[in-house]
Amino acid sequence: MTAARVPFLSLQPGEDADATDAAIRRVIDRGRFILGPEVEGFEQDFATVSGLAHAVGVGNGTDALCLLLQGLGIGRGDEVITPSLSAGFTAVAVIMSGATPVFADINPDRLTLDPSAVQAVISSRTAALLPVHLYGQPADMPAITQLAARHNLAVIEDCCQAPLATCQGRPIGTFGHGGAFSFYPTKNLGAVGDGGAVCTNDAALADRIRRLRNGGLSTPSFHEFAGMNSRLDEIQAAVLRARLPFLSRWTERRRSLAARYREQLPGAGVVVPAEIDPGNVYHLFPIRSEERERLREHLQASGIETMIHYPMPLPHQPAFTDQKPAESPIADTVCREVMSLPLHPALTEAAASQVISAVRAFTG
């Protein structure tokens, strides 16, 4: 009997389908597509659920990071410390701002920025720390913010994989000057195209970013300064508004599936991430295996699709090799071993059981 196929992810609308369709139709019928009522409404709604005072819709999560840096006046001549393990767009955003990314190693349990590694690479040019809440796991924000305060550094949180996540009960994005969120279709709250947001409790910073995202315009046709063109469009905002009421339930589903994996996978010859903080929102469920490629082949033969997030530390990426980072032995090891199992709200209990059984059947 052929095993049922378990895709890594499903992007087809489910329980949100009717609301999503109605939202798109509403925008088309209205005939306003840029910076209209849907963006304004979503900004208010998303700020509320995120526990922050202000949200500014932008083109994508990369732009959100860049705009936060620019809004804080961080750019040419400055260094921004960020983890060696992340999506490359974290470092791209730093370079877009004019600043230089400096990479520090990760904590082996959280797989997020290690504060002790940060200390070793702080220099007179360091302007900001940019932790990433990778895989939906909150970084150690109390330690990071304490370190930043001692050195008078800005803190910008990459929240692109972690909407609704909390660290010690406190919403991410509230520890530093602001947080950057992504609504790329695969994210926990995904649009039907690109989208992002900057969230902050600083009214002046939010106002500056609103102008920066729109070419630096303060009034029509008056460019107060040179910004960028990065505006969340009305269709994406409407879709996100329609899906936002489902996000809490979807997040609990992710946590429930992750709990099954954590309970039933230990002893299967793989390293399963511990739950460091219950505020983890499990954008991804990474496991580690010294026999990663053989395990992936075994799972593929069992009908289970997996992915690798991420196969190469940022300091080794050709785009960033001239940054001369400190050594990152933990990130190096993790990138050789890490792989992601299917985990998303539409994953059934039967499919989760199939994944667990297949991993446990692997002999290494």
Over residues 56-114, the pLDDT tens digits come to 999 999 999 999 999 999 999 999 999 999 999 999 999 999 999 999 999 999 999 99
Q: What is the pLDDT of residue 76?
A: 96
CA atoms within 13 A on the CB side of 313: 28
Q: How confident is the model at residue 267 (pLDDT cuts 50, 70, 90)?
A: confident
Question: Does 3.40.50.620 match the CATH number of domain 246-361?
Answer: no
Quote the distance between the C-alpha of residue 86 and its chain's center.
9
Nearest to 47 by CA among 213, 178, 190: 178
First to last CA, the chain: 24
Over residues 310-364, the pLDDT tens digits come to 999 999 999 998 776 678 999 999 999 999 999 999 999 999 999 999 999 997 6
Q: What is the pLDDT of residue 221?
A: 86
Over residues 172-190, mean pLDDT:
98
Angle among Cα 85, 191, 43 to the nearest 5 degrees reads 95
- Residue 234 phi/psi, 5-degree rounding, is -65, -40
Residue 317 in contact with residue 169, Cβ under 8 Å?
Answer: no
Q: What is the pLDDT of residue 364?
A: 62
Q: What is the pLDDT of residue 238?
A: 98
Q: What is the pLDDT of residue 324?
A: 64
Q: What is the pLDDT of residue 105?
A: 97
CATH of domain 17-241: 3.40.640.10
Over residues 282-316, the pLDDT tens digits come to 999 999 999 999 999 999 999 999 999 999 999 99
At residue 2, does pLDDT exceed 80? no
Percentage of residues in the chain having pLDDT higher than 90: 91
At residue 150, does pLDDT exceed 90? yes
At residue 1, does pLDDT exceed 60? no
Give CA separation, 134 vs 232, 309, 334, in Å: 23, 10, 13
At residue 248, does pLDDT exceed 70? yes
At residue 117, does pLDDT exceed 90? yes
Residue showing tokens 């010690």: 168
At residue 241, does pLDDT exceed 60? yes
Q: What is the pLDDT of residue 45?
A: 98
Sketch the domain layout of the chain as residue ranges: 17-241, 246-361
Over residues 121-137, mean pLDDT:
97
